[in-house]
Amino acid sequence: MLKFLRRYNKAILMVGGSILMVLFLLPSTTNQIGQNMMNKAVAYADGRKVTVLDMQEAVREIEVLERLNPGLLQGLGVGRRPEHWYLLVHEARQAGLIGGPKEARKDLPQDMLDMMRASASESQMDRLLANVRGVLRLVSSSSAGSLYSSREAVLLGQKMFDTASVNIVVVPAGKIGESLPVPDEARLVEHFEKYKDTDPLSDPMGIGYRRADAVQVEWLSIDRASIEAAFVPDPIEVNKYWRQNQAKFTGEFTAVKAQVEQEYERTQVDLALSRVADVLKRELFRSTSALPADGAYKALPADWSQKMPKLADLSALADAEMRKQFPSLTQGPTVTANDGVWRTGSDLSRLPAVGFSFLQQGNGGRLMFSQLALTMRELVGPSLFAVQENMVIGPLQDFRGSLFYFRVVASRKAGPPASLDEVREVVSRDVRTLDGFERLKSEKEQYRERAVADGLTKLAESAAVTVRQGVEVTGQMVRPIAGSQTPDQSLDEPEFREAIMALARRLDPKVDATTIDASLRTSVAASPRARGLIVGQIVRYRPMTVEQFRSNAEAIARFAAGELGGEGIISAFSYERLRERHDFKIVGGDEESESEADVRQAEAAPAGG
């Protein structure tokens, strides 16, 4: 299998940011170097050069889709293979199926757009959305309609659009497990050995103790809002700024004074932050310039922990520089010391303030703090960013313009815990949860009878949970709960969906479902993802309308491709078939080769200090 992501991950993900972070002291020719490297050919398709930048965009789009719609990548067989996604988009573009920015955002919920903005610029977001719509059109236009008859089309439509509103109680297995006997040592050891090297994301119940790459970090924050709060506009300078920018501010000074002051403040705060960044840049360079090179890294002396620049010292330098222009500053830079906690990428992304910071790349992209902190040599080997332990990296920024510098103090590679004692408490809890789940499965009918006889409210009270009102269920999916744009994946259990819809279709949609005997509209299913029993009662049934069926022919066709043997259509867009059609060739020869010579040629100098 082509290991493209692995081979070119460094060149694709990191080349732009490396140039920004590492070569910040070099002249403006750096930009030309970056452009040359980003334009380096890594493959050819239909005789056209495919550059590092092209593949970088493909990688970024896959990362966003993995968060927002992993089912799309799985259904198309793309996985995490950027060259496959690139070829799908390439073919859709050749077919004229990719629209413009206005069409790309059509009918998308605002919270999804906000989530995308966290990891992509506006132009990148529009491009991704347009590419996704184009690829879907490409696949659905390939004779999907021939896969099914009119009767089958109706059945598929019903599976998609027949909807039951359901009140749900999830009885947690963990709660039941708490009342069960404490597992003995032999049971704990057996369980630990079984799951110690299992990724919890791969287990239906989320059980597994394999730990992801993790780091301990400390960081320096320079808050833009505190500088803005200390800004006191000089009336003379504000008026001078207005006179120098007449083209921008049309009208008399008194009419545009507020606008001028706001713009003048922005420029002065920008200038102050730029000066702070320059001061810290020089200090970091001074503190590391005498260190011998170790390839793209620095060879750190044994006593580096005593000699390395302290964040507190950098904070004092930044504070002094800021107060030159803003003497009334009340809150200067802050340092968050290492607390000894191991943090994975997701943990880093949840840190206040710094967790939302990013490295702005030259092509408009952003590399998030959580990603950058895990690209260090001690974890992933040589990379273009050349991040290593005990070196200060920065500046990063957030969407408000605050600046951040961080240092990885220690790192821990992915792998199983060394012993049961490291995760004993979690193992004990998980064993009880599994036992509780088995107990619940054996008592499913009893819980259904309790829901019918006493109602969901009493059942929820006995389980110390709440009733989830109005969850919309179809034969295809569990839709987002009212007030949310994101579905609860733990409720999306096929057994539960199918049982609910089987009951719903026996109900008269013209009759208030809550007046019908509860035994005819109550279902129970054991759900590993929910870690318990899903007990649901139908409160409303809405069958598919003729208008829904007629206006969703394209969606039904796409659904048919997956439900009725559409593998033939999907296989037409497999990587192998696309590669043949577009004469896709990797630069460097054998695609199965694990050689990274081409990547090493693109590697740059170390970053930080």
Give the pLDDT confidence score for residue 406 in this predicted structure.
Answer: 96
Q: Coil, strand, or helix at residue 135? A: helix
Higher pLDDT, 421 or 31: 421
pLDDT tens figures, 216-269: 999 999 999 988 888 888 888 888 888 888 888 888 888 888 888 888 888 988
Give the pLDDT confidence score for residue 383 in this predicted structure.
Answer: 73
* Mean pLDDT taken over the chain: 82
C-alpha span between 492 and 71 (Å, rounded): 13
Q: Coil, strand, or helix at residue 248? A: coil
Give the pLDDT confidence score for residue 382 in this predicted structure.
Answer: 76
CA distances from 372 to 215, 332, 386 (A): 11, 25, 10
The confidence band for 86, taking pLDDT boundaries of 50, 70 and 90, is: very high
Q: Coil, strand, or helix at residue 298? A: strand
The confidence band for 36, taking pLDDT boundaries of 50, 70 and 90, is: low
C-alpha span between 284 and 308 (Å, rounded): 9
The confidence band for 602, taking pLDDT boundaries of 50, 70 and 90, is: very low
pLDDT tens figures, 209-222: 999 999 999 999 99
Whether the predicted pLDDT of 504 surpasses 70: yes
Q: Could you tell me the pTM of the whole model?
A: 0.57
CA angle 234, 237, 243 (to 5 degrees): 145
Spatial neighbors of 454 by CB under 8 A, at least 6 apart, are none
CA distances from 494 to 207, 259, 490 (A): 20, 57, 11
Task: Please give the share of the chain, as a percent, with pLDDT higher than 90.
Answer: 42
- Runs of H (alpha helix) within 293-335: 304-307, 311-325
Whether the predicted pLDDT of 155 surpasses 70: yes
Higher pLDDT, 544 or 111: 544
Region 437-466 average pLDDT: 95
Please report which helix (H) or strand (E) contains residue 45, including its range. strand 41-45
One-character DSSP codes across 137-193: HHHHTTTGGGGS-HHHHHHHHHHHH-EEEEEEEEEEHHHHHHTSPPPPHHHHHHHHH
Q: Are 334 and 220 in contact (CB under 8 A)?
A: yes
The confidence band for 295, taking pLDDT boundaries of 50, 70 and 90, is: confident
Region 548-562 average pLDDT: 76
Whether the predicted pLDDT of 203 surpasses 70: yes
DSSP assigned state of 363 = T
The confidence band for 16, taking pLDDT boundaries of 50, 70 and 90, is: very low
The confidence band for 340, taking pLDDT boundaries of 50, 70 and 90, is: very high
Whether the predicted pLDDT of 526 surpasses 60: yes
Exposed/middle/buried for residue 572 (C-beta within 10 Å: 0-12, 13-18, 19+): middle
Q: Which long-range contacts (CB under 8 A, 24 or more apart) does 178-182 make?
A: 178/432, 178/436, 180/432, 180/435, 180/436, 180/439, 182/428, 182/432
How far from the centroid of its chain's Cα atoms is residue 393's Cα?
Answer: 22
pLDDT tens figures, 415-426: 999 999 999 999
Give the pLDDT confidence score for residue 594 in this predicted structure.
Answer: 32
Residue whose token pair is 């000074």? 253
Q: Coil, strand, or helix at residue 510? A: coil
The pair of structure tokens assigned to 471 is 């969850």
C-alpha span between 566 and 77 (Å, rounded): 13
Q: Are 171 and 440 in contact (CB under 8 A)?
A: yes
Higher pLDDT, 325 or 605: 325
The pair of structure tokens assigned to 505 is 């279709």
- Runs of H (alpha helix) within 211-309: 224-230, 235-244, 253-288, 304-307
* Residue spans per domain, the chain: 4-142+572-602, 163-185+420-543, 214-412
Whether the predicted pLDDT of 173 surpasses 90: yes
The confidence band for 342, taking pLDDT boundaries of 50, 70 and 90, is: very high
Q: Coil, strand, or helix at residue 415? A: strand
